[in-house]
Structure 1
Amino acid sequence: MSLVPYPDIASLPEEVRTAIAQAPVQLNIFKMMANAETCFIPLTRLGGTILSRQKLDARLRELVILMVAKVEGGEYEWIQHVPIAISVGATQAQVDAIQRSAIDAPCFSEVERASLRFTEEVVNRVKAEEATVKELMKFLSPREVVETILTIGFYMMAARITETTRTDLDPPAGTKVIDALRR
């Protein structure tokens, strides 16, 4: 049971109730975020944009999200994003390597290793080393670098919400959320 109670959905503003009702999956993270009712719609829009409208490659995005979950200890996001990562082309070997913190494993390409190293540094030190940023920029445009930072920050926030509130774990939703964003 969560440490912070979920809101009474019926007492939330209509816009929030409608958004929750229209979600492709009734995930506990959304219910928990609805406690912050004035932030709920902007947060879900940002999350949806990260998952569906970035130039950043979806497989790379999901590897970054898994790295954030690994470094942060975000069990909820790990459970939800492993199936998504696999669905967009990540391999089980890559998921296992991230789980072991083996970002130099041969299953990763140069851009993937640079992205994972970048992610680890941003999460742990706030800013990545200059050399790490320059290495990543060999592969990604400035837009994609900033999108990576936004992805890292969003999923750091998600991990802090779910871990601090002890949000109840949901079974993996698979690609239902992503599929709904593609429509």
Structure 2
Amino acid sequence: MSRLPCVNPADAPAPVREALQAALPLNFFRVMANAETAFPDWMRWGGTLLKDLALDPLLREIAILRVARLSDVRYEWVQHAPIARSVGATDEMVHALGRDEIEADCFSPDQRIVLQFTTEVVRDVRPSDETATALTGLLSPREVVELLMVIGQYMMIARVAAATDLEIDKPMGAGVYGAGG
């Protein structure tokens, strides 16, 4: 049982109710809805990170799975493994990420750079000069900042899910794209 209640859309203020009704029925969204003033904008933000980035969706999803693994949060993993597969991740890639094998042969050199960068941002906050240089040689400044936004967003999601002992929903897969985040 979650440490915080899930908001019932019927009992929520209009902006929160509307955001919840437009979203998939995930416990995470319903817990986040407790932050009434921030929730509708946060849902739009999450939708932007899933739909409107220059960052390649596969790179985004392997970074999210890396954050989930480093944070040891099953909720995020359960939701994003199918999303990663829907944007091109192979089962081998998902399994390698689950085993902390970011140097596995199933990853391209570019994907390994993104995974190393994600690892260093999560663990050390500031990536090494070598890793940052490799990433900026691969991605545009826009994509680097978008990757940092994704990493930060999913670090926050992992911490909320862990701190609240959030009950895990069945995976929604690519269906999450129809909702806000």
Structure 1 position 179, deviation (Å): 4.2
For residue 173 of structure 2, give the secondary structure of its aligned residue in structure 1: coil
| Structure 2 residues without counterparts, runs of 5 or longer | none
- Hey, what's the Cα distance between the residues in 2 that align with 1:180 and 1:119? 25
Q: Deviations over 1:15-47 (max 9, x none)?
A: 110111122x20000000001111101211111
Match status 1:42 vs 2:72:
no
1:130 corresponds to which residue? 129
Question: TM-score, length-normalised on structure 2?
Answer: 0.96
Q: Deviations over 1:99-118 (max 9, x none)?
A: 11111111101110000000
Structure 1 position 74, deviation (Å): 1.9
| One-letter code aligned to 2:78 | I
Structure 1 residues 179 and 14: CA distance shift in structure 2, 3 A: closer
RMSD: 1.2
Given that 2:47 and 2:179 are in contact with CA atoms closer than 8 Å, whether structure 1 keeps it comes out as no
Structure 1 position 58, deviation (Å): 0.4
Summarize the alignment of residues 53-132 of structure 1 with structure 2, pairs less than 5 Å apart: 53-132=52-131
Structure 1 residues 180 and 11: CA distance shift in structure 2, 3 A: closer
- Hey, what's the Cα distance between the residues in 2 that align with 1:177 and 1:32? 17
Structure 1 position 10, deviation (Å): 2.8
For residue 16 of structure 2, give the secondary structure of its aligned residue in structure 1: helix
- Hey, what's the Cα distance between the residues in 1 that align with 2:112 and 2:9? 42
For residue 138 of structure 2, give the secondary structure of its aligned residue in structure 1: coil
- Hey, what's the Cα distance between the residues in 1 that align with 2:120 and 2:79? 23
- Hey, what's the Cα distance between the residues in 1 that align with 2:101 and 2:159? 23
| One-letter code aligned to 2:74 | E
1:11 corresponds to which residue? 11
Question: TM-score, length-normalised on structure 1?
Answer: 0.95
| Structure 1 residues without counterparts, runs of 5 or longer | none
1:31 corresponds to which residue? 30
Structure 1 position 146, deviation (Å): 0.6
| One-letter code aligned to 1:11 | D
- Hey, what's the Cα distance between the residues in 1 that align with 2:169 and 2:30? 12
Given that 2:27 and 2:166 are in contact with CA atoms closer than 8 Å, whether structure 1 keeps it comes out as yes
What fraction of aligned residue pairs are identical, expressed as a percent?
47
2:146 corresponds to which residue? 147
Q: Deviations over 1:68-120 (max 9, x none)?
A: 00001121110000000001001111111111111111110111000000000
2:157 corresponds to which residue? 158
Structure 1 position 11, deviation (Å): 3.0
